[in-house]
């Protein structure tokens, strides 16, 4: 190890001889971007796709089997680079070589003629994918002579993709593969055929930016990324009444603009010494005094909180000591600082879904932080809940009787909002509770197909109106609520009287999981 260190020092000194200063920097990078819309080649029939530029998407996507998935996704990226730089401190000019890795998330969107599929109205197609790979670049940096703080740079980068993943169901990332997805019902819809996935794609990216130098540096830049070849070919065919309206093909490639933010971290800096050598005179060796050890007066205690059953870290645990509040981080760690030696005490601890309590401790003089491990016993999840006086288990449902709607409307009435407030309280009490809200309408048997479709749409809107109210009252609850509309297909009572039809215009709550 010592020989390796000596060899590295010799190499760094050799490199520094070409310039007055050689340095190594770590460059964490965060980016937000805009992926350009794909272009389609018409093969047969008439055009039906309209590409659109989008930087983020928040909404609901439908899979070929009719599964509804909520997404909140943005065009962004991050990475980390190491830059080896030769610079001239007199004018701030420098050359830099960069090696690192990157990860980018892309969205490409195309709208098409509206059609119905599994009780949904489909209006557009989205390609959501992620690239992971290597980044290498050559940089030329310039400084302002009259101001040594600011500078600018030009950089040409290469990005070599090693892995390509598409957004799948349940918010997962799956490896991109050749497949066919059909959204066809009653002879109308779209068929997607993905061909020749190529995860290993080379892109070039010219970049220009500004540099703010100082103790905490900052870089802001704009870059354009251009793929040299597509990583996926896609063919889309639109069917109407069992006939082909048209077929279009495209080669999907990451051509995008990025706004980048970097925070340079200096890892190594070597400046050539031009001062004359210092001559030391020999002198008699003097005895080195032995320092008297100074005993510490205070001690730090490092607390680690784990699950008693799984031994996994418990983040966000709240601890109260001497009137001060402490919280554990993601790794379940927190620190009490500057406690008096031999001080004994008690601190209370609480964590969501765990049994709380008081922990005894004593500060002991030692080198480094004193380790204190705490295990919390998890509270078992409930097997049933009580709502409106009824006991519900997983898979069971209940009619929310106070939620009624006027004929052909989906607006919540005051009684309905009061009923949903009970559901909000229930979801606060049980953080692991996931529910399904289903909307229902009333209709006569002799109603037309158009009336049936309108009732299906209205039932979905009623369920969504209830979901939106809960989301407005309880943060981060959207992913815990599933909505569906059954229209007039599941009446509670025969639609023979106005009172019966009023009962059938309802919303039901189902326990998905506890």
| pLDDT tens-place string over residues 328-363 | 999 999 999 888 888 888 999 998 888 888 999 998
pLDDT recorded at residue 285? 66
pLDDT recorded at residue 83? 92
pLDDT recorded at residue 19? 45
Q: How many residues does the chain have?
A: 514
Spell 109-119 as b/e; 16+ CB within 10 A means b: bbebeebebeb
pLDDT recorded at residue 398? 86
Q: Name the token pair of 481.
A: 């609520």
**Of 104, 105, 101, the residue nearest 133 (C-alpha):** 101
| pLDDT level of residue 275 (50, 70, 90 thresholds) | very low
Q: How far is CA 112 from CA 32, 34, 109, 236, 294, in A?
A: 27, 21, 10, 11, 77
User: Is the predicted pLDDT of residue 221 greater than 90, yes or no?
Assistant: yes
pLDDT recorded at residue 20? 67
Structure-model confidence comparison of residues 285 and 395, the more confident one: 395
User: Is the predicted pLDDT of residue 273 greater than 70, yes or no?
Assistant: no
CB-count burial class (<10 Å; 0-12, 13-18, 19+) for 254: buried
Taking the chain, what is the end-to-end CA distance rounded to the nearest angstrom?
A: 55
pLDDT recorded at residue 177? 79
User: Is the predicted pLDDT of residue 17 greater than 60, yes or no?
Assistant: no
What is the arithmetic mean of pLDDT over 60-75?
Answer: 82
In this structure, of 2-6, 281-285, 397-401, the range with the lowest mean pLDDT score is 2-6
What is the arithmetic mean of pLDDT over 240-253?
Answer: 87
Partners of 269 in the β-ladder: 23
pLDDT in tens, 468-500: 999 999 988 899 999 999 988 889 888 888 888
Partners of 345 in the β-ladder: 361
User: Is the predicted pLDDT of residue 424 greater than 50, yes or no?
Assistant: yes
In the chain, % of residues over pLDDT 90 = 32
CA 488-493-497 angle, 5° bins: 90
**Of 257, 260, 261, 259, the residue nearest 35 (C-alpha):** 257
Asked if 248 contacts 48 with a C-beta cutoff of 8 angstroms, the reply is yes
How far apart, in whole angstroms, are the C-alpha atoms of residue 313 and residue 376?
Answer: 10
* pTM (2 d.p.): 0.49
User: Is the predicted pLDDT of residue 464 greater than 90, yes or no?
Assistant: yes
Structure-model confidence comparison of residues 92 and 411, the more confident one: 411
Asked if 387 contacts 423 with a C-beta cutoff of 8 angstroms, the reply is yes
pLDDT in tens, 288-338: 777 766 667 888 999 999 999 999 999 999 999 988 999 999 999 999 988
Q: Report residue 29: phi and psi, to 5°.
A: -130, 135
Q: How far is CA 214 from CA 31, 263, 273, in A?
A: 22, 11, 22
CA 237-240-242 angle, 5° bins: 90
User: Is the predicted pLDDT of residue 74 greater than 70, yes or no?
Assistant: yes
pLDDT in tens, 26-60: 999 999 998 888 888 888 889 988 988 888 888 77
What is the arithmetic mean of pLDDT over 116-128?
Answer: 86
pLDDT recorded at residue 157? 94
Pairing outcome for strands 481-487 and 434-440: parallel
- Residue 338: how many other CB atoms lie within 10 Å: 9
**Of 207, 376, 272, 327, the residue nearest 21 (C-alpha):** 272
| pLDDT level of residue 215 (50, 70, 90 thresholds) | low
pLDDT recorded at residue 366? 86
pLDDT in tens, 436-454: 999 998 876 556 777 888 8
């Amino acid at each position: 190890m010592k020989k390796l260190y000596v060899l590295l020092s010799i190499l760094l000194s050799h490199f520094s001889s070409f310039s007055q200063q050689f340095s190594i920097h770590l460059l964490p990078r965060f980016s937000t971007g805009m992926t350009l819309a794909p272009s389609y080649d018409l093969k047969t029939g008439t055009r039906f796709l309209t590409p659109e530029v989008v930087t983020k998407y928040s909404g609901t996507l439908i899979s070929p089997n009719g599964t509804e998935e909520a997404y909140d996704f943005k065009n962004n990226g991050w990475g980390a680079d190491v830059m080896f730089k030769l610079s001239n401190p007199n004018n701030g000019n420098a050359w830099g070589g960069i090696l690192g890795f990157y990860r980018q998330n892309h969205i490409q969107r195309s709208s098409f003629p509206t059609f119905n599929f599994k009780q949904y109205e489909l209006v557009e197609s989205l390609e959501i994918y992620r690239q992971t790979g290597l980044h290498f670049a050559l940089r030329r940096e310039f400084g302002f002579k009259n101001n040594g703080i600011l500078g600018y740079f030009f950089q040409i980068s290469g990005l070599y993709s090693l892995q390509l993943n598409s957004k799948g169901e349940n918010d997962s990332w799956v490896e991109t593969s050749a497949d066919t997805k059909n959204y066809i019902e009653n002879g109308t819809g779209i068929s997607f055929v993905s061909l020749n996935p190529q995860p290993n794609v080379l892109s070039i990216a010219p970049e220009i930016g500004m540099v703010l130098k100082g103790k905490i540096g900052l870089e802001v830049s704009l870059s354009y990324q251009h793929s040299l070849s597509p990583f996926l070919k896609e063919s889309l065919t639109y069917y109407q009444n069992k006939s082909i309206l048209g077929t279009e093909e495209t080669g999907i490639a990451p051509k995008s603009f990025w706004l980048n933010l970097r925070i340079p971290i200096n890892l190594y800096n070597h400046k050539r010494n031009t001062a004359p050598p210092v001559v030391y005179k020999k002198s008699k060796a003097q005895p080195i005094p032995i320092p008297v050890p100074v005993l510490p007066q205070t001690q730090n205690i490092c607390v680690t909180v784990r699950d008693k059953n799984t031994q996994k870290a418990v983040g966000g645990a709240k601890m109260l000591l001497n009137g001060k509040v402490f919280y554990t981080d993601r790794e379940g760690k927190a620190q009490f600082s500057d406690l008096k030696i031999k001080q004994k005490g008690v601190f209370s601890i609480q964590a969501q879904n765990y049994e709380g309590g008081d922990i005894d401790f004593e500060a002991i003089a030692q080198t480094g932080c004193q380790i204190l491990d705490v295990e919390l016993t998890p509270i078992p999840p409930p097997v049933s809940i009580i709502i409106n006086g009824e006991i519900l288990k997983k898979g069971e449902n209940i009619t929310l009787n106070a939620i009624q709607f006027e004929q052909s409307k989906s607006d919540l009435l005051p009684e309905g909002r009061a009923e949903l407030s009970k559901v909000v309280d229930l979801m606060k009490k049980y953080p692991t509770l996931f529910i399904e809200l289903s909307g229902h309408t009333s209709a006569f048997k002799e109603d037309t197909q158009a009336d049936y479709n309108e009732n299906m749409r209205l039932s979905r809107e009623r369920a969504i109106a209830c979901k939106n109210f809960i989301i407005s009252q309880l943060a981060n609850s959207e992913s815990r609520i599933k909505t569906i509309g059954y229209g007039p297909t599941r009446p509670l009572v025969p639609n023979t009287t106005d009172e019966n039809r009023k009962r059938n215009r309802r919303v039901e709550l189902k326990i998905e999981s506890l």
